[in-house]
Structure 1
């Protein structure tokens, strides 16, 4: 039995690889506003059911950070028809797996079952949407879970708060400036009624997208969707009018301490456009050119040749409303920050004044072709991409078209983006250093 399943999975991978340029899907809306996306692929007997809610850390009220991530945990506590503690037992006993994750912009839950349990996955996610239990015992339990997660992943982890330091210094007005995991003090201070109000406000069908991908028969799937989701009442979705930060026009330098590190890190961070903007794709290519692998410009120079850095990277990070381009460097030995900064600035200047070579350009194109294929090499990956492209990018078919955007990026576009976004007066320098004993 196991060999047969593995063989089916291998066939599915080859099929997806060969057809990676065209992911077929169907999408429609229920009367209550729930957006539905179906992707049929009968090459392997598995189905992923996912629901993405348009609520992330940016939707939280000041003083109540961490709610979106908290619900990622809380809504596995149970529903009207799924007893507390039974969710994971139901999934595992029926051959499935499940998970959830939260970002600044959205929360995503999904199950992957053998296709003969597709109906179960649909029912469970409908239960989460219709009648998730938000009570005091669940809140108290999950508070402790989140506290432990924060301790392990951030407070006691070397460089665990580095990314949050970038967010807090790059955004002041926009709620991107607080972390996804939020503040434990905020969660402790919140009353049960506030958690219940959050669920009622954001966990409504017209604030969500349901994606079902894999070994499905679409007409049967639609019947189950209508049965389980069609009668869930529509909610009131408020417009997302977040305050935007003014452009950075003067270089700023800040120092952040971390008691868990011995080697300082230096970050050079620039604000960039939303991931909906074409320039965000261009900046992805700038990032890959500078630090995408051991043959990249910065890695080769600072790590391999000059041995001035233990690690260096240039990262293009896109959100729904804005983005960040951040250089990160860990010095080798006693290498001063000034030497790392000098090399990084030299490479930025080259990008701004000289077209990259045709050979490097073709290498970039090959990298992005490979990334595109890999991102759609599993049913779970396809489901997540479809939901994300619909909800955060405004175009579900980007799953097929995004590679064409990267292909359209020219060497001149790369130069222009470096000129436009990577100037020293547009950045915040963060010295992330050991805490003095």
Structure 2
């Protein structure tokens, strides 16, 4: 088939379009034809992980499409256990593939819709599938870019007048995390063991974390390699971003408080980071751009970019407490509150000459908003345990208990449709027994 002009990529975002996949037209579906997020899945018919796209309640097998000549990309880039080979093709190919898929799924397109045998091969129910980590992640960096979150934490542990340290308003603060412990949604996590310094003790104790927390974040996936010593200009940075995921950077607050001076978090952050299985392309979020918060002082020239680089992404956290019958929504916030943009984060990351690689994961940092119910961590919402949350049963939570399950959700609201991530969830298991 002929290659669509990648300059037509915005055709896939048209709000009026419908799909012949009925569930994709549900106004509250996360996966309408305007979205088409990429992930890696397997199912009972084929246990080999391969690349697919979510549409409604189904997964479209891209290896099948490419193998039958319906995509211009090679089958080899989709018949594999990660998206890295596809992502490495570059932005023009991402856009061409998404547009081709969009045209095949359009309500007025008969090519796939009316070929029953091919449909049977190419479509799999999400309920019958297993999702895998969507990318091989060479490196993971977590930023600290929500002004509201940084102000809350700074006020908690310092004089509120100096909640933000002088460098916070000048650079996107970040640290290098552990890529090896990034896991896909629905993977249980073990409560970590570590050193904890109790106020009444001269020396620390070693044992299970007592203040296990969440961090409501998004993450972006780097879409192009750079050479060592090669910076990325801020006005070109978004072309190097393939897409976004939901991210929960689980945190052991008591371990963190003891270890973070002088070099920052270590064991308190390295035990688990959960991401959603579907990567929503930056192109799918393009209709929901908005202005980022005003930045004062004006960033240094290398961190400046024109236009709108915020995104109106609604975010929620649900907590299903152990033994509870109903979940509670414990936070509602929005990505548009983020002070530092993804472009600025990537530019600053490479400004020193640090090279990045396809599949690198960059976390936003905890996303909090200006209201009491928009805190992206339990540390903030309970003010370090001083203000417990009340669950539907009347039980309280300050930090997470064993058996608690946390679910992150995120979506953009269009006119009669949503562009969403699905969910990002994890259940807390007891800490490993000490030897």
Same fold (TM over 0.5): no
Question: Which structure features the higher share of helix residues?
Answer: 1
Question: Which structure features the higher share of strand residues?
Answer: 2
**TM-score after normalising by structure 2:** 0.26
**TM-score after normalising by structure 1:** 0.26
